[in-house]
A and B are shown apart, each in its own frame.
Chain A
Amino acid sequence: MSIFKTQEIGSLKKPSWLLEFLRSSASEEEKKAALDDASFVNLKMLEHIGLDFVYDGEARRVEMYELPAKFIHGFEFVGRVRSWDNKYYKKARVIDEVSFVKNYHLEEFIFVKEHASKTPKIPVTGAYTLMDWSYNEYYDSREELALDLAKNIINRILKELEGVGMQVVQIDEPAATTHPSEMNMFAEVFNEQVKGINAKINTHICYSGDEYASLMPVIPDLKAKHFALEFANRDLNNIGVDDVSRPGYRALKAFKEYASDREIGLGVLDVHSDFIEPPELIRDRILYAVKILGDPSKVYVNPDCGLRTRKREIAFAKLKNMIKGVKLAEAALR
């Protein structure tokens, strides 16, 4: 029996055949069928690699912010803004009270659930991030907008997904630690959006500028069982299970202090690099985490974040090594 559960975080790069087909003059029905195929291929690939929790690589989604913003009343896209260098994202402004238009994840989830042999874990962009990444031209405060999104949009989406069998949800909140002075607001918004949800609640928070220093003290207040965090992008590629070899995983000590009753989704793959992490490196990252946290049953293993910035073959190679690394870690612990 395995000690560690494995998962991915969300996105995979779309296959080139899909992108070409979507740009073609094929009918809407044919394009939908192509998206079904891509979803299926990603799902089966992730299952074949050996992950315990899977989804479809977000095959139907354009981007984690753009999809929800497109389907929430009150949002209006205004153009692209820079993320870094020549990477841009489409940003929207909120010009009216936000209200529910449709559950933009329902069809996608039903398809994945129908075809999955492993447990689907659906990523859903959280209310705080949607608020923070938008221009607010309507509400009197950021908090008002975030709470409205939490109560009236995200909570409804989650309840409907639970109604069709969702067992595990990952609330994606990359903006969570952008404003350290707003952590209490973040906690209130987070809890509001998962109110009444019985499914297992994971959250994914990435690229925190302060190595999660501002997140840790509020974890006890958050109604999430599992925290998928990134570490590999800050770490060295040396072998070793000591502090010097594993500087990227420093935040685990604070996690143990504040969140010993929660699970950690340990980021072991750097998603911004084509470096294929050797299984031994992944093993040592996992063993270091177990050394700090003490309880291996609370350690899940995943990439730092979604893999859509990597070519598909690189992403799959990294994931395959991740599984090998997990097996090496398990062997070392037995």
Chain B
Amino acid sequence: MLKSANTYFFGIFPRSEKLIDITRTKQNYHEDLLAESVKIVEYQKSKGLKIISDPQITWEDMFRPLALSADGISVNGLNRYFETNTFYKVPVIVSKPAVKEGSLKKYLTAGASLISFPDPFTFSCLSKDEFYIDKKAFIRGLGDLIASFAAEVSKAGYEYLVLKAPSYGNCEFKGYEESIKEALSSIKNAFKGKIIAHVYFYRNMESLNFLTSSPLDGLGVDMYSFQVDDLKKLENKGKDLALGLINGLNTKMETKERVIDVVKKINTDHELYITNNVDFEFLPQKFALKKVDLLSKIAGDVHEHF
């Protein structure tokens, strides 16, 4: 029996055309980025969304602020981000990472209650290790690092943490399960609110099965990679479920009816969320805002149907 349904978006939100122009003409534009981030927070509130996502407009990619806010990490050349036409700068762990106290603060947006970080396994797959050498130690070390950041955002009032976990789809995690669980436990112990691991880009059932046994509160699933029947295997496994039904890779608008249709097929006695499948940063901002509007309308309709 569905307990409740809510909506949110996660990940990096795209910048407006005006802001893009500013970043190409001004030398220092951090304040402009923050100002726009605050506007997107206000926009979500104006639409009645209950879970307010930090749009992370100050984030160049999902690693950069974390790399810049920690000792022991440098930033290297460009790598393609999975099968998209977007690139990220590879973090290189050169010594034991340690958080620079208070450094992350300038990347956070006041008024938000949800933020996204890379999951430690994904971090290990997409960065370069020049310190730990042993991958298990690397994953645990990254878990401790993310836990420190998680503690910081928890103290700042964030109630939801989405751990972006695409690498379970294309990076071998077998053999590292214990290290991953330890890393996730560190983060769980550090963050007071709910933690949801979100898998996307690939349909890997083993990753879903593994993450249901993790210490996290919920699982987010890219519903453009996975199918509804895949989720039936997750029902009543003691985890909240976040359905990534709003496509961050295409401007084409979803319909409320399609979303509700899928939701009706899911049985869970835990919390259900409707969210995006991947970050909205792959869309121009005006389309991402339309998708946020849709999320705000869906929340009410889902409640009506149940």
Contacts and interface: CB of A to CB of B under 8 A. Distances in A.
B61 interface: yes
A73 interface: no
B284 to A, nearest CB: 3
Interface string A36-73: 00000000000000000000000000000000000000
Interface string A129-168: 0001101110000000000000000000000000000000
Given A91-B284, A178-B83, A84 B88 contact: yes
Contacts of A200: none
A86 B86 contact: no
A311 interface: no
A137 B252 contact: yes
Interface residues of B, number: 29
A78 B251 contact: yes
Nearest to B79: A209
A32 interface: no
Contacts of A207: 80
Nearest to B281: A82
A178 B251 contact: no
A79 interface: yes
A279 B74 CA distance: 31
A80 B287 contact: no
B252 A82 contact: no
**Chain B CB within 10 Å, residue with most, of A79, A93, A137, A175:** A79
Contacts of A178: 80, 83-85
A209 B126 CA distance: 12
A183 to B, nearest CB: 12
Contact of A81 (B14, B77, B87): B14
Given A135-B251, A207-B80, A233-B77, A79 B85 contact: no
A2 B284 CA distance: 49
A129 to B, nearest CB: 9
Contacts of A83: 85-87
A132 B80 CA distance: 14
B85 A132 contact: yes
Interface in B7-34: 14-15, 17, 20, 23-24
Interface string B61-102: 100000000000000011110011111110000000000000
Contacts of A91: 284
Nearest to B86: A82
Contacts of B80: 178, 207, 209
Given A80-B20, A135-B250, A135-B252, A179 B83 contact: yes
Contacts of B250: 135-137
A135 B84 CA distance: 12
Interface in A74-117: 78-86, 88, 91, 93
B265 to A, nearest CB: 23
A79 B251 CA distance: 11
Interface string A256-291: 000000000000000010000000000000000000
User: Which one of B85, B87, B89, B287 has the greatest number of beta carbons of chain A within 10 Å?
Assistant: B85
B230 interface: no
B105 interface: no
Given A78-B287, A81-B283, A132-B85, A88 B20 contact: yes
B285 interface: yes
B85 A80 contact: no
20 contacts: A78-B284, A78-B286, A79-B17, A80-B284, A81-B86, A81-B282, A82-B281, A83-B85, A84-B87, A84-B88, A86-B23, A88-B20, A93-B251, A132-B85, A135-B251, A137-B251, A175-B85, A179-B83, A207-B80, A209-B80
Interface of B: 14-15, 17, 20, 23-24, 60-61, 77-80, 83-89, 250-252, 281-287
Interface of A: 78-86, 88, 91, 93, 132-133, 135-137, 175, 178-179, 207, 209, 233, 272
